[in-house]
Chains A and B, each alone.
Chain A
């Protein structure tokens, strides 16, 4: 059973398009996250979310928006894609928040914007 799954695994799209990446966890965790790993393999947190609170990293453009239909899902919507959005995006979940709990990562989605 996959604990944290993401779809799609690869996404190739053109500048200006709007796209979504889906994330689901079956661990019963309360908190989910989105991370971006750039071409230099540097990871950055984008969002953390539980059913009460969305925390947005201030460096994330407002073209990025997380949507959570329920506790097990946190999807990432990206509007007006730019070349610089090309990266690998990881979803993760944890039992609690405040980044004080072990994180479980999805397999990643490689986004390429042409």
Chain B
């Protein structure tokens, strides 16, 4: 069993829908990262969280340290949000990755 579990594995939404991607982890962490991998392969860091909630534009990330759970929300989704979203947890110099959630937003 992977130490970082993401759900769902695949997600298809209509443009404008509210999206939630979940991440659960089983190890102690110093920080949790949400990454976006574009269809072309490039990786962009969206958020780095150690507690609470962060917001960038239409993206919101939350983390509950006690429950070892994080969520990534996308409001008013758009086809350009189509990508793979990856949750990763860092502790000291080790990083463990989830398998990713493939999001497709249809116009």
| A90 surroundings in chain B (CB, below 8 A) | 43
Could you tell me if B88 and A41 are in contact, using CB atoms closer than 8 angstroms? no
Distance of A45 Cα from B45 Cα, bound (Å):
15
Task: Give the Cβ gap from B29 to chain A, nearest Cβ, in Å.
Answer: 9
Q: Which B residues lie within 8 Å of A88 (CB)?
A: 41
In the complex, whether B99 has a CB less than 8 A from a CB of chain A is: yes
Most B CB within 10 A of own CB, among A43, A55, A102, A104: A43
What string of 1s and 0s marks CB contacts (under 8 Å) between B13-48 and chain A?
000000000000000001101010100011111001
Tell whether A43 pairs with B90 under 8 Å between CB atoms, given A102-B48, A107-B41, A108-B42.
Answer: no
Interface centre among B37, B44, B91, B93 (most CB of A within 10 A): B93
Q: In the complex, are the beta carbons of B30 and A99 less than 8 A apart?
A: yes
Chain A nearest Cβ from B33, distance in angstroms: 7
| Count: A-B pairs, CB below 8 Å | 58
How far, in angstroms, from A45 to B43 measured CA to CA in the complex?
Answer: 14
Q: Which of B1-16 contact A (CB under 8 A)?
A: none
Q: Is A103 located at the chain interface by the 8 A CB criterion?
A: yes
Q: Is the CB of A97 within 8 A of B93?
A: yes
For the side of the interface on B, what is the size category? Answer: 20 to 34
A: interface residue count bin? 20 to 34
Looking at chain A's contact residues, the main secondary structure is loop
Main secondary structure of the interface of B (DSSP, over half): strand
- In the bound assembly, the distance between CA atoms of A105 and B30 in angstroms comes to 20
Query: When the two chains form their complex, are residues B99 and A105 in contact, meaning their CB atoms are under 8 A apart?
Result: no
Chain B, residue nearest A98 (CB) = B92
A selection of 12 A-B contacts at a CB cut-off of 8 Å is A40-B99, A43-B86, A88-B41, A92-B43, A98-B92, A99-B31, A99-B90, A99-B91, A99-B92, A99-B93, A101-B48, A103-B33
* 6 A-B pairs with least C-beta separation: A99-B90, A55-B93, A105-B43, A43-B97, A45-B95, A100-B31
A contact residues vs B (CB 8 Å cutoff): 40-45, 48, 55, 57, 88, 90, 92, 97-105, 107-108
Please list the residues of chain B having a beta carbon within 8 angstroms of any beta carbon in chain A.
Answer: 30-31, 33, 35, 37, 41-45, 48, 50, 84, 86, 88, 90-95, 97, 99-100
